[in-house]
Amino acid sequence: MPTTSPHRRSNRPPNRQVRRAGVVTLLVGVFAVLGTLLGVAPATAQSDPGKTYVIATDVTFAPFEFQNEQGDFVGIDMDLLAAIAEDQGFRYEIKPLGFNAAVQALQSRQVDGVIAGMSITDERKLVFDFSDPYFESGVQMAVSEDNDDIASYEDLRGQRVAVKTGTEGAAFADSIKGRYGFTTVTFDDSASMYDDVRTGNSVAVFDDYPVLLYGIAQGNGLKTVTEKEAGASYGFAVSKGQNAELLSMFNAGLANVKASGQYDEIIDTYLGEGAQAAQGGNTFFSLLRDSFPLLMEGLWLTIVLTVVSLAIALVLGLVFGFFRVSTSRILRGIGVVYVDIFRGTPLIVQAFFIYFGIPAALDFKMPAMTAGIITLSLNAGAYITEIIRGGIQSVDKGQAEAARSLGMGYLPTMRKVVLPQAVRTMMPSFVNQAVITLKDTSILSVIGIAELTQTGKIIIARNFESFNMWLIVGIFYFVIIMALTKLSDRLEKRINA
């Protein structure tokens, strides 16, 4: 609560401190209300015997973690974690985030652990506590299967090489690129990295050898041209000094699973003889048929995110829109600050800040869905604020003056005279913002929300059918946006009738 009375006028110049305090208080209030409504909860005690551990993973890193046709998380890491949990008797929930987001979620204590083919390095040991190694990795180089010009590191001079963020392949490429004179370009998932090589934008790729070989067997269009280089070990990670009991159970379960022979069975399932048979035969229609249930789940989540966010954004837009046309300098200042912040920063930065930054600073956990809705609502609200301001100001001032001369108050004048006329002007912009918000949901894949775009990425990670899959995803977006546009056209005609 502020210590100064809101009714006292400040003699300080241009109200900057007042504006800052006002907008901070307002945003804190917004976060508090949205958090209460959408399920934000403080971190629970680590010693709770009934605790379900939240484990983040990549799910685009086959054969260690990926999603099968039934939507189940499978792979070496997933099967190993399941076996260890059964052996040790603890419960867990998988959170598919992507590698970068998973690491950030662990740093901000949004999750309890990460298993994602994570190499144990000295730098990471400063931030995380690792389990005993569960897999010895290595690095290989691959090129497009029709490329006969690149056969060694020497042939990379002056060329571009694709790597994936945070992998052994990226670390190895960085360690030798000065010696062999090539540059690297970084991707967040293996499928995009392979596509960059297959299309000729990069001439080669460095990747963890089991991931690379699995992709080749599934038809990613590459071939290996070098021997395997020694790499680091994979480990299960928790935050430094946190979840010691989970780490202890993982180590004990790993030892038991190895001793029983179950570990070898899991490895053979994905890396053994004949385990990597290519799926093949994925035509456009067969891919659509097989992926349709998962895509519909992703589409439904996209629609929910859009509708809920727009509803909240409309409320925010009305409030701040009135602030922007208010006669009070303080309210106008608060409106300006809000609009400038959320129109002046990228949506992806806002998503990371709300999902990772704020919970880390205030020490609480926030569901990804909550963070996504807050992000979209605040961002869309800033644009709707300007739409409403522009619509109100487009109405001739004489209309309001006439109403006021008849004894109508400010709010009745706005509600009965100004807004009905302004809505006609604002309608096309509202529709445009709805379409933009629908498409902006795809950015939330960076915090692990499995909307339509993220669902497409997950499917591609399994079958490497990039062209057909992105064509299908594009058609889904096109159909829903065209339906929204046609509906808005009919609504606009009725309003203007």
Dump pLDDT digits (tens) for 55-76. Answer: 999 878 888 998 887 778 899 9
- Burial grade of 1 (CB within 10 A; 0-12, 13-18, 19 or more): exposed
Q: Which two tokens stand for residue 150?
A: 């690149």
Over range 119-133, report the average pLDDT.
93
Residue 159, burial from CB neighbour count under 10 angstroms (0-12, 13-18, 19+): middle
Q: Is the pLDDT of residue 435 over 70?
A: yes
Which range scores top for mean pLDDT: 204-213, 230-239, 299-308?
299-308
Least confidently predicted of 28-42, 118-132, 164-178: 28-42
Residue 202 has phi, psi (to 5 degrees) of -120, 155
In sequence order, the β-bridge partners of residue 91 are 52
350-396 pLDDT, tens per residue? 999 999 899 888 888 888 899 999 999 999 999 999 999 888 888 88
- Whether pLDDT at 36 is above 80: no
> CB within 8 A of 345, min separation 6: which ones?
none
Residue 276, pLDDT score: 53
pLDDT digits (tens, 9 = 90+) for 397-408: 777 778 777 778
User: Is the pLDDT assigned to residue 12 strictly greater than 50?
Assistant: no
Half-sphere exposure of 200 (CA within 13 A, CB side): 4
Class of domain 52-134+235-271: alpha beta
Angle (CA) 455-461-465 rounded to 5° is 90
pLDDT, mean of residues 424-450: 88
pLDDT at 426 exceeding the cut of 80: yes
CA neighbor of 60 nearest in space, from 101, 121, 110: 101
Q: Other C-beta atoms within 10 Å of 126: how many?
A: 8
pLDDT-based confidence at 13, cuts 50/70/90? very low
pLDDT band at 16 (very low <50, low <70, confident <90, very high): very low
Residue 223 pLDDT > 70, yes or no?
yes
Return the pLDDT at 41.
Answer: 42
Mean pLDDT of 237-243: 94
Give the CATH H-level superfamily of domain 16-39+284-496.
Answer: MetI-like (1.10.3720.10)
pLDDT of residue 301: 94
Question: What CA–CA distance (Å, rounded) separates 472 from 292?
Answer: 10
pLDDT at 99: 85
Look at residue 44 in the predicted model and tell me its pLDDT: 37
The pLDDT assigned to 364 comes to 84
pLDDT at 479 over 80: yes
Distance between CA atoms of 48 and 459, rounded to whole angstroms? Answer: 36
Distances 417 to 314, 321, 324, 385, 492 between C-alpha atoms, Å: 20, 16, 18, 19, 19
pLDDT in the model for residue 275:
58
Quote the pLDDT of residue 316: 95
> Which range, of 27-31, 86-90, 93-97, 155-159, averages the lowest pLDDT?
27-31
- What number of other Cβ atoms are within 10 A of residue 117's Cβ? 26
* pTM (two decimals): 0.73
The answer to whether 42 and 378 are in contact (CB under 8 A) is no
Asked if 356 and 56 touch (Cβ cutoff 8 Å), the reply is no
Instruction: Indicate where the chain has its CATH 3.40.190.10 domain(s).
Output: 52-134+235-271, 135-233
For residue 365, what are its two tokens? 């956990």
Average pLDDT, rounded, for the chain = 84
| The predicted structure's pLDDT at residue 124 | 92
| Confidence (pLDDT) at 216 | 85
Kindly report, residue by residue over 271-321, the tens digit of the pLDDT. 876 555 544 456 788 888 888 988 999 999 999 999 999 999 999 999 999
CATH of domain 135-233: 3.40.190.10
Q: Which residues belong to CATH 1.10.3720.10 in the chain?
A: 16-39+284-496
- Contact between 55 and 112 under an 8 Å Cβ cutoff? The reply is yes
What's the pLDDT score for residue 471?
Answer: 93
493 φ/ψ angles, rounded to the nearest 5 degrees = -65, -40
